Amino acid sequence: MPAHPDYEEQVRDAFPELDAVTDDRLRERVVEAWVLGLRRGGWRDVEDVPYAWNIDEVSNVEHTRGVTEIAVESAAVQRTRHGAEVDTDAVIAACLLHDVGKCYEYVDHVDDDLVDPDPTYAGEVIPHSLSGYALAHEAGCPLAVQRAIPHFIGEIPDRTLEAELVKSANAASSNAITQATMGISLDEWVEEYSQTSG
């Protein structure tokens, strides 16, 4: 494992969707949150983070990019079809960060040569949607982005349109992945594996 991987370059290469964020400061904060997660998780490469603890055929990067694409397309429909005022920068940033917490949560589910985690942060104690929120907060992302990151089992009771776009895009991508890799829906995956994941 390289002593100091260039995480910033990895993140920029992995997520070309960053270029669609019009606010330069927000774009840099998204990169910063990923760099913090990767460094503390001790990952060799952003592409090594799996989509799920028991689904490594799909990377977290691939899933995150899919979620972002789905949400941006949905936002465009909501804007043109229904006149909704969607903060596209917040949607893209939140999509790109919605699973950054997997840098912490999934360190125990990959080969040891892929990670050298900092035990202060990494492990399964905190769900990735909450640690992702914390990383976005620490990196200085605006509240509109932070509150759209928690996406599982109603962690945020008062959800914005942007948060709903992230949540529904995540569900669409996740259902496609679990169906393609395991032949089951996301709900079936959660029901079957939520008790055994840690």
Domains and CATH numbers, the chain: 7-193 (1.10.3210)
Which tens digit of pLDDT belongs to each residue from 34-53?
999 999 999 999 999 999 99
pLDDT at residue 148 is higher than 70:
yes
Q: Which of 73, 99, 98, 97 is nearest to 86 (CA)?
A: 73
pLDDT at 154: 55
Q: Locate tokens 């005022």: which residue? A: 85
What is the rounded average pLDDT of the residues 156-168?
85
CA distance 68 to 181: 20
The values of phi and psi at residue 153, to 5°, are 50, 40
| pLDDT exceeds 50 at position 127 | yes
d(CA 71, CA 95): 8
State the chain's mean pLDDT as an integer: 92
Q: Residue 198: pLDDT above 70?
A: no
pLDDT for res 87: 97
For residue 164, which amino acid is it? E
- Rounded (10°) angle between helices 161-182 and 88-97: 40
Least confident among 19-23, 121-125, 166-170, 179-183: 121-125
Helix axes 88-97, 128-138, angle to 10 degrees: 120
**Gap between the Cα atoms of 74 and 93, Å rounded:** 15
Predicted confidence band of residue 6 (pLDDT cuts 50, 70, 90): very high
Whether residue 43 contacts residue 94, with contact meaning beta carbons closer than 8 Å, is answered with no
At 153 the pLDDT is: 56
Question: Which stretches of the chain are assigned E, i.e. beta strand?
Answer: 50-52, 55-59
More confident residue, 153 or 117: 117
**132 neighbors 64 (Cβ within 8 angstroms):** no
Tokens of 157: 């009771």
Residue type, 29: R
